[in-house]
Chain A
């Protein structure tokens, strides 16, 4: 089993977590209610914390540079995050739908990794699957309340999901080493994840009287896993590294 394959898997997971965590953190001070400011802040900390844990595995086991270097100073084309995580927050409706779709996928991924052949991932997954149920509960609760809330809140959520659903499938874009990872029982593969994801999100949406739109273009959100990104990633990375690049060699 090539280390390269596992590294690729960890990088895409870590980059997803870092970038969506960054987006969540941008809600600070802007939430529709104070409680939501606090929630998005918590989720930002969780996601960025997961990214740090994954980059630490990369450093300690796979000889990659330290987490700060990897996260803050790596060129954009080396990032493996999916496009869905890169999109600007927009309005709360899009951010909530993204949080709902992404966090369900994240939870399922880590649940599978609890029985991975890669011990580092098993250890991490066992540690964090317990906490992943809370952001999912948060998303499901808000989807339920706003889907069943006012006419406007229902329409907004339906529009948001119509607009971003195809792109969200980019979460499950196959990696370069997909078959190798499946054969070596590192994880069951993106297709398996995606079908369980459908099973999980469908009843929640139904309970909120929301419909999953027909898929028009499966691959519209693809490219991230190969290092091709939307125009939104680079400005985000530039902002993230603004202070560190003043003097990357020193401690801040």
Chain B
């Protein structure tokens, strides 16, 4: 699961590359015609750089995203929930696997990506820097966060880079099952005992801000992404995706008699848009920059896995095999 919260940046001063205008024109015309760009095709440096950054962050989000839910596998109430949760978290790790492979086609190896994750150079979705405090949090993640991820990923699956789109198609297919199990667990609590309902409402209240942050800052303060949209790297603006998510899923929260912890939150019938209190965007950037409630813990776990698994990787390593595509 993934949201595009921190996917793009601007090239550093002095690092912008002037592309051959003829090649660029052919490339842009291909994208305009709806063709997919494949690993060995010519592509602008900036296209490659942003795609690596985006796919890598997406992959990290999958493996870090496995952690908050993963800690509940051992506590899931009953066989049905336990088996579903293991399978779901396993899928998320599998998505990471698939996405690292997609990013490798652009010239960065999985090892380099994981090293950059651990040393803090590359990010992952902010939403995973929050704790899953109770079982109800697991159902909120499984329903609403997964739903947000689907909104994001379905749109991205129509992008221009072939390997990423194909990975996303498969991921979305699996995510639709995740959403079903998340929604079912959510409904069970919503229609359960007063204690279960309270647990769920509390969890929604806790997760509301991370959910608002999920699609990234409002368009008016977002970085300039026109070129990325033209190249079909970014497929929709943050605000558009957020509105789409509200349209599809907030009614499902309301129909269970649950509330959204924002007195301003409502749909404006005239504009067709949802209105809300802007969440604290300073806090969003603070969390991205490492100061969220679980940033340290998440990276510590990843670091443990890297350090304690190094002997296995070293023993299996064979320099004959290289899975990174040469730069086109």
Does B86 have its Cβ within 8 Å of any Cβ on chain A? yes
Q: Is the CB of A41 within 8 A of B195?
A: no
Q: Is the CB of B66 within 8 A of A28?
A: yes
User: Which bucket holds chain A's interface residue count?
Assistant: 35 or more
Q: Secondary structure of the A side of the interface?
A: helix
Q: Is the CB of B313 within 8 A of A32?
A: yes
Does B316 have its Cβ within 8 Å of any Cβ on chain A? yes
Residues of A within 8 A of B82 (CB): 25, 48
Q: How far is the CB of B327 from chain A (nearest CB, A)?
A: 24
Does A172 have its Cβ within 8 Å of any Cβ on chain B? no
Q: Is the CB of A252 within 8 A of B74?
A: no
Q: Is the CB of B311 within 8 A of A153?
A: yes
A22–B82 Cα gap in the complex (Å)?
Answer: 10
Does A217 have its Cβ within 8 Å of any Cβ on chain B? no
Q: Secondary structure of the B side of the interface?
A: helix
Residues of A within 8 A of B313 (CB): 32-33
Q: Is the CB of A244 within 8 A of B314?
A: no
Q: Is the CB of A68 within 8 A of B312?
A: no
Give the interface segment out of A144-152, A163-171, A177-185, A226-234: A144-152
Residues of A within 8 A of B81 (CB): 252
User: Which bucket holds chain B's interface residue count?
Assistant: 35 or more
A183–B248 Cα gap in the complex (Å)?
Answer: 63
Among B66, B79, B304, B309, the residue within 8 A (CB) of A52 is B79
A232–B90 Cα gap in the complex (Å)?
Answer: 25
Closest chain B residue, CB of each to CB of A49: B83
Among B67, B189, B196, B311, the residue within 8 A (CB) of A156 is B311
Q: Is the CB of A72 within 8 A of B315?
A: no
Among B77, B93, B135, B314, the residue within 8 A (CB) of A41 is B93
Among A48, A91, A240, the residue within 8 A (CB) of B75 is A240
Closest chain A residue, CB of each to CB of B74: A239
Instruction: List which A28-45 residues lie within 8 A (CB) of chain B.
Output: 28-38, 41-42, 44-45
Most buried by A among B66, B79, B188, B313: B79
Residues of B within 8 A of A37 (CB): 66, 90, 93
Instruction: List which A197-252 residues lie within 8 A (CB) of chain B.
Output: 236, 239-240, 242-244, 246-247, 250-252
A58–B263 Cα gap in the complex (Å)?
Answer: 53
14 contacts between A and B (CB under 8 A): A28-B66, A29-B305, A31-B305, A34-B93, A34-B110, A37-B66, A45-B83, A150-B314, A152-B314, A153-B311, A156-B311, A244-B77, A246-B195, A252-B78
Extra 4 A-B pairs, beta carbons < 8 Å, given A28-B89, A247-B193 = A38-B94, A42-B90, A92-B309, A251-B188
Which B residues form the contact surface with A (CB < 8 A)? 63, 66-67, 70, 73-79, 81-83, 86-87, 89-90, 93-94, 96-97, 100, 110, 135, 185, 188-189, 192-193, 195-196, 301, 304-305, 308-316
